[in-house]
Structure 1
């Protein structure tokens, strides 16, 4: 434990300071669509992004993702490959065929790192691939890479201006703690 404390002193006193510092190369106020059939992945990715000042929209199915992408026009989409019903490849193809959503950057995510999946991701026009499980650093590295390449920009929106105030977390955005029983279930 002494080693851990020494590392904390060398690299800073805690995560809250690191999270409060602005990320270089990552625009603020992105509207991000997270598409995954796992509520846990949606909650984790949603929390990571909203803590950094981004607006998160969530979809649990491919069909819902296509509808939300067309109506909300997000700046970025994180899209799971393996989903029941319409899989991520079918969603990617549909989004690339639609003129409204054709240019939205898409990062495909999957827990199965197969060479064939990466091949199809590139072939169908995804911008990047991220393997599950992922960490905070990897998520923002993907966003920074897309920003640096010029593929990712914040769109002008008619809605209320984006502020630096933290985004309120609702009960739906709470990350489930599967290791502990729910105290309300007694």
Structure 2
């Protein structure tokens, strides 16, 4: 499939498929969130048991850990159901760079078989003309302090004063290089790892 990027001197636009359940960045976020959720659940249950109970014993700690394990298992299970059943391991994003802002619009793409959607990094998809539900995001270039690239994943992170403002997924090396060049034209500083 050839690249679907459209570029003029001031604008750039492309569609890309983003894996969900096999995407290392999303899995990393999910892992970190699970550890934080587990820790908070254990601490909260132990504090509640200490506050309302008369004494602490090993049974209280075991029950707190068991509750946290079930809670994390439920959240991970819900993630897997959403990632692989509701969105067969992908969603589609339209990215557009304009002189004032970077724009992204996430939408549910056409149904692929699960086998076709098993990617670990962004992949090419055809442009979507009609879509029902979507989530949009605009980031003003003036709010972007720097950007960071992840070459192996074809991902660009736009960073602001309070962290990552937008993840930009590119379907191939060509679009990725065009997007990096466009951002560099905005005279935004690049952070090297």
TM-score tier, shorter chain, comes to under 0.3
- Of structures 1 and 2, the larger Rg is shown by 2
TM-score, normalisation: structure 2: 0.25
TM-score, normalisation: structure 1: 0.25
Structure (1 or 2) with the greater strand fraction: 2
